[in-house]
Structures are given as C-alpha cells and as structure tokens.
C-alpha cells in the first residue's frame, strides 16, 4: 500500500505538470514542469522524501523498460531517419560526452566545496 500512495503522489505531481503545460503558453514539456514542482516541493519540504522515495527508486530501476517504445518508434521511422543517421550518431555521441563531463565536473566541484567547508568547521 505504501508504494501505491507514493506512486499516487508522483502521479499527482505529474498531473500538475500536465495542467501547467495546458495553461501556460511556454514551449516547456509537462514532464519538466512536474520535475520542477517535485524538486521545489522537496527543497521547501512541502513534499517529504519519505512520501516518494521507494516509488521513485522503483521507477529508476525499471527505467530501461520505458525506452522500449522510443526504440520501437525509431525503428518504425527508420526510413525517414536513414539519410541523417551519421550526423545523428555524431550529435548523440558528442552531447553524451559533454553531459558526462559537465556532470562530473559539477559533482567534483560540489564535493570539493563540501570537503573544504567541513575542514573549516573543524578548525573553528
């Protein structure tokens, strides 16, 4: 029952994202609105982590299953994509590397900053 309640919270937030997408004239996907709502709710502690933690971990574990429809869609539209396969592969590879580097550097800088803050707290 705990998973059902947690999934209901996540689905409600997703519904709010869909609602914002329908009401606001910005070209932002509803899923982004939902993630921002969840993020802000967790930061402000309006939404407690315990309310969504296990269901969120479960959804992350089964995430590869969600890519199956996308892959089938790509195979279905291969005729349209075939002339552009090489530029698409290059773009996907480059952006993947860029995202990995930026994410890694950001994580390293946050870890370094936290480490120096802890050292400063010990010396005080």
Lowest mean pLDDT among 19-23, 83-87, 91-95: 83-87
User: What average pLDDT score do residues 85-114 get?
Assistant: 95
Q: What is the pLDDT of residues 60-83, one digit of tens each?
A: 999 999 999 988 998 898 898 889
**Residue 74 structure tokens:** 């790509």
Helix, strand or coil, per DSSP, at residue 104: helix
Domain ranges of the chain: 1-66, 70-124
- Please state, in angstroms and as integers, the Cα–Cα distance from residue 72 to each residue in 13, 55, 65, 68, 77, following that order: 28, 26, 12, 6, 9
Q: What is the pLDDT of residues 2-34, one digit of tens each?
A: 999 999 999 999 999 999 999 999 999 999 999
How many Å apart are CA 20 and CA 3, to the nearest integer?
A: 26
Whole-prediction pTM: 0.64
How many Å apart are CA 90 and CA 94, to the nearest integer?
A: 6
């Amino acid at each position: 029952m705990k998973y059902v309640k947690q999934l209901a919270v996540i689905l409600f937030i997703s519904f709010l994202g869909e609602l914002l997408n329908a009401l606001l004239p910005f070209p932002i996907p509803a899923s982004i609105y939902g993630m921002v709502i969840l993020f802000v709710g967790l930061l402000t502690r309006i939404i407690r982590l315990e309310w969504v933690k296990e269901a969120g971990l479960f959804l992350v574990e089964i995430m590869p299953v969600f890519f199956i429809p996308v892959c089938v869609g790509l195979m279905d539209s291969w005729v349209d994509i075939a002339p552009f396969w090489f530029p698409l592969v290059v773009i996907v590879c480059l952006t993947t590397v860029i995202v990995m580097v930026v994410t890694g550097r950001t994580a390293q800088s946050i870890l370094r900053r936290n480490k120096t803050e802890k050292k400063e707290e010990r010396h005080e």
